[in-house]
Amino acid sequence: MGRIGFGMTLLAIILGTLASGIGSVWLAAWLSFGIVSRYTQHMLSLAAGALLATAFLHLLPEAFEGGIEPHNLFVTLLVGLLFFFLLDKAELWHHGHEHHHGEHHAHDGHQHGHDHAHHHAHKTAQSHAHDHTSVGQEKSSGGWAILAGDSVHCFGDGVLIASAFMVEMQLGIVAALAVLAHEVPHHMGDLVVLRESSGNRQVAILKVSLAGAVTALGGIAGYLLLESLSGILPYMLAIASSSFIYVALADLIPQLQKRLSSRETAAQIVWLVSGIALVSVVSYLAHGGLH
């Protein structure tokens, strides 16, 4: 292949990875945010199912197909879970430190006041600081883990698309469409988590779109370093899996563990299973297209 051919291939890889990486996020946002405001609990169940299915039925099997010793991949998965746990703790500690600092200043103001008005102001300041911290702690949970795992996952998708384009242009297009399709239900889960953590739909879409753009970086890296990257891809897939498993089990599932009526519990289970089924079907169809 000549220099022009390589240039066209690289351009096709960049366009294909951007279309699949960012396009899947926008399609997921269009599909999910119309009903999220009315069915938040259902969407949390769907997100939990989608994240668990992405990890256990898509990423981990793909990692084990890479020929790496299973013990090494399980160690990577365990280290990843511990890493995202510590990342979450660091965020909570940061917000807790801010809360303590705010309380200290409120207490100083109380020491210098002598009437009921000052006492009331102190109580209000403490209450405000506590509310701010509670919101901060709630909003921090899961967000960083999702973005970190998403970025690693998208980088791996980019390498996959690049390898397909370097074999044949038509195969690359099929791979890009397959990645776009199987990322949509997964990104729907991500957007729900990030909307819950940031409280802002636009911020959630922007953050997941930036993670999706990492697909293009993976595509370029795959084009330049395909041979050397093939050895670390299974480890990247295991790390991405650990982030989705952590968020689903540590952040989403606990929010669903409430005393509910039998009808509401049944609805939770149906939406959870629907998330798993959606990812399973789309992933199966995508792999069928690739083969």
Neighbours of 117 (CB within 10 A): 9
Q: Most confidently modeled of 129-133, 135-139, 150-154?
A: 150-154
Of 99 and 28, more confident: 28
Q: What is the pLDDT of residue 214?
A: 94
Q: So what's the pLDDT on residue 98?
A: 45
pLDDT number for residue 141: 52
- Say whether pLDDT at 118 is over 70: no
pLDDT for position 139 = 45
- Please report, rounded to a whole number, the percentage of residues in the chain having pLDDT higher than 70: 75
Contact 222, 161 (CB under 8 A): yes
Whether 149 and 242 have beta carbons less than 8 Å apart is answered as yes
Task: Place 226 in a pLDDT band, splitting at 50, 70 and 90.
Answer: confident
pLDDT of residue 137: 41
pLDDT range class, residue 32, cuts 50, 70, 90: confident
pLDDT at 210: 92
Average pLDDT over residues 188-216: 86
Mean pLDDT of the residues in the chain: 76
Q: How many CA atoms, within 13 angstroms, populate the side-chain half-sphere of residue 167? A: 12
| Confidence band for 273, pLDDT divided at 50, 70 and 90 | very high
CA distances from 47 to 131, 160, 183, 223, 275 (A): 27, 25, 13, 33, 6
Q: Which tens digits make up the pLDDT trace of 140-191?
A: 456 778 888 888 889 988 887 888 888 778 878 877 887 787 688 778 888 8
Q: Is 215 exposed, middle or buried (0-12, 13-18, 19+ CB in 10 A)?
A: buried
| Residue 78 per-residue DSSP state | H
Measured distance between the N- and C-terminal CA atoms of the chain, rounded to whole angstroms = 24
Where is pLDDT greater, at 66 or 121? 66
Phi and psi, residue 218, nearest 5°: -65, -40
Give 102-158 as a DSSP string: HHHHHHHHHHT--SHHHHHHHHHHHHHHHHHHHHHHHHHTTHHHHHHHHHHHHHHHH
Burial of 7 (0-12, 13-18, 19+ CB in 10 A): exposed
pLDDT surpasses 60 at 120: no
Of all residues in the chain, what percent carry a pLDDT higher than 90? 18
Q: Identity (one letter) of the amino acid at 86?
A: L
Two tokens, residue 251:
């952040």
Least confident of 56-70, 110-124, 163-177, 218-232: 110-124
Rg (CA), the chain: 22
**Is the pTM above the cut of 0.85?**
no
Q: How high is the pLDDT of residue 241?
A: 87
